[in-house]
């Protein structure tokens, strides 16, 4: 039997195209306009030929099958996504990275003694971008061997990830690569084939990841310093782009940078990033300490850097009224806090953190907003972020019971029990009715087999909960009412008897 070709398949009907298109969009965020009907048909036909299937409806059932569908869907994505790229694509962005962004990040790291760099290349295709980043770091860091460098590269196409891990490329992929880099970091296999240095290859970890439908890669120690996601969201619809950019914002550490493609913009997508015009490139910085004026606008506008005038310039934003970064209040301060607190109660910590962070930018001295943000970070297990917010709280209000209680919680979670006990006692010195501090002390004493002290604190907690059923402690009770907490304390007392 002769092999099938496209002529053996009927045209995709409008209904069939939309069925495939909507499924692809729901699963990946990639949206195909109507003019791509024929390209989608070609991709689907290719896979149908391999399966000896002639009916689109039969193939769609295979694609959506509970067991086999995921692997088949990844194969389809390999065919409908465009992966043509090259090393050091958009040289202006790499100039900005070398001359401004990395020096700024390194200064901040040096100040706190942090020797780690965490970089995410999202939508990495066949690996040219993350490898370009690795080479840039090797050339820019004074002593790269003294740094722990984590570069994660992800994509929805398993085929391109497989190619990326091989690290071998045709000559065309090096068309933007300076000759110095080619000589130093590539081995020429023949006139058209080059393989990248093993040391560079080992700096990058590759993994499958879907930006729209999956949780974002978790980091044990803080957020990303750099996220590169260039020419990826051009395939997404507006709602998906907003989600991705908001998630990027949450994933970056304060002071981190986002690089997107020339054809992409955050205009009316996300107003939290500070746009930076560095040479010929636009990049976006996460800076929660940006000054906000009384109108809710950033006093600092876009940063302009002329590379001809300076080798390395710290990005200090300059006032440009026509191109200011806009920060508009969605509600007044009270409404914004209520919105953040509502998300917190629902345990939607990502949205809660976004709203609370907005409020701290609009009103930097708002203690309640900083307390809420610290509480969110504690619940997310982000101790470093929580500590920063607690420090702000205690600078503004040194006798804040909530601030000292949060500090106690952080120390307890870190296993620093002596420090935790000291903070909980400090809370009770300020306010004896802060019932949860008694509970926390009792739990620590119980783990240390200090039964007498534990009993005393549980009894004090019961008395405090009865006298002050909805005090300041309630914000940290995880939704538990006083009667439930009293019952827990009584049960623990019975076990100690």
Question: What pLDDT is attached to residue 320?
Answer: 38
Q: Are 277 and 307 in contact (CB under 8 A)?
A: no
> In angstroms, rounded to a whole number, what is the distance separating the alpha carbons of residues 44 and 32?
14
* Residue 167 near residue 146, CB atoms below 8 Å: no
Among 38-47, 174-183, 308-317, 342-351, top mean pLDDT goes to 174-183
Q: What average pLDDT score do residues 481-496 get?
A: 79
Residue 218's pLDDT band (cuts 50, 70, 90): low
The answer, yes or no, to whether residue 478 has pLDDT greater than 80, is no
Angle value at C-alpha 316, between 311 and 321, nearest 5 degrees: 125
Write down the pLDDT at residue 306.
52
Whether the predicted pLDDT of 222 surpasses 70: no
Residue ranges of domains in the chain, CATH in brackets:
6-80 (1.10.155), 91-285 (3.40.50.150), 333-496 (1.25.40.10)
120: left (phi over 0), alpha (psi -120 to 50) or beta: beta
Token couple for 432 = 């004896």
CA 159/CA 101 separation, integer angstroms: 32
Say if residues 360 and 369 touch (Cβ distance below 8 Å). yes
Summarised one tens digit per residue, pLDDT across range 273-330 is: 888 878 778 889 998 775 344 434 444 444 555 554 444 444 444 333 333 333 333 3
Mean of the per-residue pLDDT values of the chain: 81
Nearest CA-CA partner of 136 in 170, 89, 175: 89
Helical H segments across 252-382, by residue range:
333-345, 349-362, 367-380
Rounded distance between C-alpha atoms, residue 172 and residue 89, angstroms? 12
User: Residue 80 — very low, low, confident or very high, per pLDDT cuts 50/70/90?
Assistant: confident
Rounded average pLDDT over 381-385: 86
Question: Taking Cα atoms as reference points, which of 69, 87, 66, 55 lies closest to residue 24?
Answer: 69
Q: What is the band of 404 on the pLDDT scale with cuts at 50, 70, 90?
A: very high
Per-residue pLDDT reduced to its tens digit, 234-265: 778 788 888 899 889 989 999 999 998 866 77
Give the mean model confidence (pLDDT) for residues 424-428.
91
Report the share of the chain in percent with pLDDT over 90. Answer: 28
Enumerate the H helices of 366-416 as residue ranges.
367-380, 383-396, 401-413
Structure confidence by residue, pLDDT tens digits, 358-372: 889 888 888 999 999
| pLDDT value of position 160 | 87
SS3 281: strand
What is the pLDDT averaged over residues 3-11?
Answer: 65
Assess whether pLDDT exceeds 70 at residue 399.
yes
């Amino acid at each position: 039997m002769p092999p099938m070709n496209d002529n053996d398949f009927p045209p995709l009907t409008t209904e069939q195209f939309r069925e495939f298109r909507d499924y692809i969009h729901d699963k990946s965020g990639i949206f195909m306009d109507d003019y791509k009907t024929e390209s989608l048909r070609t991709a689907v036909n290719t896979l149908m030929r391999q399966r000896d299937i002639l009916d689109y409806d039969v193939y769609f059932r295979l694609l959506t099958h509970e067991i086999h569908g995921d692997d088949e869907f990844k194969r389809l994505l390999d065919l409908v996504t465009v992966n043509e790229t090259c090393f050091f694509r958009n040289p202006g962005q790499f100039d900005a990275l070398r001359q401004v962004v990395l020096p700024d990040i390194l200064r901040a790291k040096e100040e706190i003694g942090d020797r780690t760099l965490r970089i995410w290349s999202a939508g990495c295709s066949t690996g040219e971008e993350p490898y370009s980043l690795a080479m840039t770091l090797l050339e820019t860091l004074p002593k790269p061997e003294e740094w722990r460098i984590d570069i994660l590269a992800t994509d929805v196409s398993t085929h391109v990830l497989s190619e990326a891990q091989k690290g071998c490329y045709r000559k065309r992929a090096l068309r933007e690569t300076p000759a110095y880099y080619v000589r130093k970091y590539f081995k020429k296999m023949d006139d058209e084939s080059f393989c990248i240095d093993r040391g560079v290859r080992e700096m990058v970890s590759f993994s499958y990841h879907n930006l729209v439908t999956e949780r974002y890669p978790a980091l044990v120690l803080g957020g990303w310093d750099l996220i590169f996601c260039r020419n990826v969201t051009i395939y997404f619809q507006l709602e998906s782009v907003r989600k991705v950019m908001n998630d990027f914002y949450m994933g970056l550490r304060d002071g981190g940078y986002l690089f997107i493609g020339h054809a992409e913009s955050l205009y009316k997508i996300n107003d939290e990033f500070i746009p930076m015009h560095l040479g010929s490139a636009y990049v976006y910085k996460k800076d929660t300490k940006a000054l906000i004026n009384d109108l809710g606008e950033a006093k600092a506008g876009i940063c302009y850097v002329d590379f001809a005038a300076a080798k390395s310039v710290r990005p200090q934003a300059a006032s440009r009224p026509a191109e200011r970064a806009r920060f508009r209040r969605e509600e007044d301060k009270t409404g914004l806090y209520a919105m953040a607190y509502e998300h917190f109660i629902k345990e939607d910590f990502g949205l809660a953190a976004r709203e609370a962070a907005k409020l701290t930018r609009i009103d930097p001295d708002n203690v309640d907003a900083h307390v809420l943000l610290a509480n969110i970070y504690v619940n997310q297990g982000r101790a470093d972020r929580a500590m920063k917010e607690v420090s702000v709280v205690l600078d503004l209000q040194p006798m804040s019971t909530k601030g000292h209680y949060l500090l106690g919680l952080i120390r307890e979670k870190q296993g620093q029990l002596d420090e935790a006990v000291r903070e909980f006692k400090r809370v009770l010195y300020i306010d004896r009715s802060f019932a949860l501090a008694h509970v926390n002390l009792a739990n620590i004493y119980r783990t240390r087999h200090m039964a007498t002290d534990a009993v005393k604190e549980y009894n004090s907690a019961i008395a405090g909960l009865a006298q002050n059923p909805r005090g300041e402690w309630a914000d940290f009770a995880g939704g538990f009412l006083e009667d439930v907490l009293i019952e827990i304390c009584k049960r623990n007392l019975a076990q100690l008897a």
